[in-house]
Amino acid sequence: MRRFVTSTVRRYSTRNFTWWDHVRPAPKDPIMGVTEAFNADSSPNKINLGVGAYRDDEGRPVVLQCVREAGARIVGSQFLESNSAAVSSKMVEECVKLVYGKDSDVVNEGRFAGVQALSGTGACRLFAEFQRRFHPESRIYLPDPTWSNHHNIWRDAQVPSKKYHYYNFDSKSLNFSMLIDDVKNAPDGSFFLFHPCAHNPTGMDPTEEQWKEISYQCKVKNHFPFFDMAYQGFASGDPEKDARAIRIFLEDEHLTGCAQSFAKNMGLYGHRVGCLSILCTDSKQGAAVRGQLQQIARAMYGSPPVHGVLLVSAILSNPDMKSLWIEEVKMMVNRIQKMRMTLQESLENLDSPLNWEHITNQVGLFFFSCLTPKEVEQLAREFHIFMTHDGRISMGGVTTGNVNYLANAIHDVTRSGKEETKILCNVGV
C-alpha cells in the first residue's frame, strides 16, 4: 500500500513538471518590442518614437491641467468604494454626446447601448466578442494597414478578418477607389472597421466627400460600420470636427458601433478609460444589447475601474473644464504640427534627394514615413532612434531638442538614394 502511494505521488509530481513544457515564447509585440529595445539602449541621445504617446517639448509625459483640476475635484469621492454603475452610466452619457453630438436624436431618445470599457482596446475586444456571439458567421473588414492589435483582437475573439484597401504606398495617399470597390464587393451585411480620424498608422483620413460616399455605399450594402475612435481631437485639434465622419453616417441613419479611448486625447493611458457604444433601433433594443455587453464584461473582468472614469466625467460634464480640455488638445496638436513642419524643413535644408511632403500632408500622432525596415534598423543601431518596423514615427516623441538630430539621421540613412527608398518616397507624391 505504502509503495503504491509513493509511486503514485512520484508519477503525479513528474507530470507536474511537464505542465508548460509545450509553451513557446510568444512573438514580440511590434510596439512593445520597440520600447524594450529603447530601454536596453544606454546612449544619452536615444529617442523612442515607437509608442503612440504624447510628450511635451522636453520629451516628458504630460498630465493635462484639466485632468489635474478634475483630480482635485474628485478627491474623496464616495464612489471610489461603492458600486460603479452610476459613475459608469454618467460617463457613457458624456461619451455618446461627444461622439454623436449633444443634441443628436439617438442620444436624446436613448437609442443606443453604451458601456464603460477598458480603454480603446477593451472596447474593441468587447465588441469583437459581441459580434461573434450574435453574428457567428460574420467576419470583420480591417483597413490595410491598420493598428496591428486590431488583427489580434478579432483573432482572439475568433472572428475572421479580411483586409480592405486603404493606403496607396506609391502615391502616399488614400487608395479611395479600391477602398470603395472593397466596400461594394464585400458580401451584403459585412462588418467594416473604420478609423474616423487620425488613421493609425498612415495619418491619412478620407475627406468629407469621401466619407459621404463610403457611408452611402455601406448603406446600399447594408454593412455595419464600426468606428475605432482612439484619437478624437488629434486630427484637427477640435473633437467636434473629428467626429464629422461618424455624424455623416448618423445623418444617413446607419446603426453604428464606436470604441472610444481617452488614452491619448486626455493623456489617461494608464487609467484605461474607454467606452463602447452601439446604436440600436429603439431604447428597448438598446437595453437588451447593453445587458449582453455587461454580461460579457462581467465574465472577463467583473466591473471596470472607477477613478479614471470620474476624471473623464468631471471634465466632459463641466463646460469650463471641457473648454480647458479642448484648448489643451489644440495645444498638443499644434506642437505636433510644428514638429512636422520643422522635420520637413530640416530634411529639405539638408538637400535630401527625396520628397518629404507627406510629413505635413498627414495628420494625427503618427508620421508614416517611407523608411524601409533596413533603414529603421540602421537608425536604431547607429543613431539610437527607435520606431516600429514599418517606419511609423510617433510625432509625440519629436521635440525642438531632437528634431534636427532626427532629420540628420534620416537624411544619413536615406541620402545614398537607395533605390528602394526612392521608389517608395518619390512616386507620385
Ligand X SMILES: Cc1ncc(COP(=O)(O)O)c(C=O)c1O
Distant-in-sequence, close-in-space partners of 247: CB < 8 Å, separation ≥ 6 = 100, 101, 104
Of 147, 154, 211, 325, which residue is the catalytic one? Answer: 147
The minimum distance between CB 2 and ligand X, in angstroms, equals 57
The minimum distance between CB 261 and ligand X, in angstroms, equals 3
Q: Does 48 bind ligand X (CB under 6 A)?
A: no
Q: Confirm whether 162 is a catalytic residue.
A: no
Number of residues interacting with ligand X: please give it, by CB under 6 A. Answer: 13
Q: Which of residues 113-142 bind ligand X (CB under 6 A)?
A: 119-121
Residue (146 or 190) nearer to ligand X, CB: 146
Q: Which of residues 339-358 bind ligand X (CB under 6 A)?
A: none
Residue from 107, 230, 403, 413 that binds ligand X (CB under 6 A)?
Answer: 230
Of 182, 264, 325, 356, which residue is the catalytic one? Answer: 264
Find where cell 467626429 sits: 243
The minimum distance between CB 150 and ligand X, in angstroms, equals 7
Q: How far apart are CA 85 and CA 305, in angstroms?
A: 11
The alpha helices in 49-196, defined as continuous H runs, are: 65-74, 85-100, 105-108, 119-134, 149-156, 176-185
The minimum distance between CB 165 and ligand X, in angstroms, equals 18
Residue (52 or 206) nearer to ligand X, CB: 52
Phi, psi (deg, nearest 5) at residue 192: -120, 130
Q: Does 52 bind ligand X (CB under 6 A)?
A: yes
Q: Are 211 and 202 in contact (CB under 8 A)?
A: no
Of 228, 242, 325, 356, which residue is the catalytic one? Answer: 228
Q: How far apart are CA 58 and CA 73, in angstroms?
A: 28
Q: Confirm whether 325 is a catalytic residue.
A: no
Q: Are 231 and 365 in contact (CB under 8 A)?
A: yes
198-207 exposure pattern, b = at least 16 Cβ within 10 A, e = fewer: bbbbbbbbbe
Q: Which of residues 80-119 bind ligand X (CB under 6 A)?
A: 119
In 10 A of CB 91, how many CB atoms?
A: 28
- Look up residue 114 and give its three cell numbers: 453604451
Q: Confirm whether 264 is a catalytic residue.
A: yes
In 10 A of CB 59, how many CB atoms?
A: 15
The minimum distance between CB 142 and ligand X, in angstroms, equals 10
Residue (228 or 328) nearer to ligand X, CB: 228
Q: Does 228 bind ligand X (CB under 6 A)?
A: yes
Q: Does 263 bind ligand X (CB under 6 A)?
A: yes
The minimum distance between CB 95 and ligand X, in angstroms, equals 13
Q: Are 350 and 254 in contact (CB under 8 A)?
A: no
Q: Does 147 bind ligand X (CB under 6 A)?
A: yes
Find where cell 510617433 sits: 394
Q: How far apart are CA 105 and CA 65, in angstroms?
A: 33
Task: Name the residues annotated as catalytic.
Answer: 147, 228, 264
Residues of the shown chain interacting with ligand X in the complex, contacts defined by CB under 6 A: 52, 119-121, 147, 195, 200, 228, 230, 261, 263, 269, 274
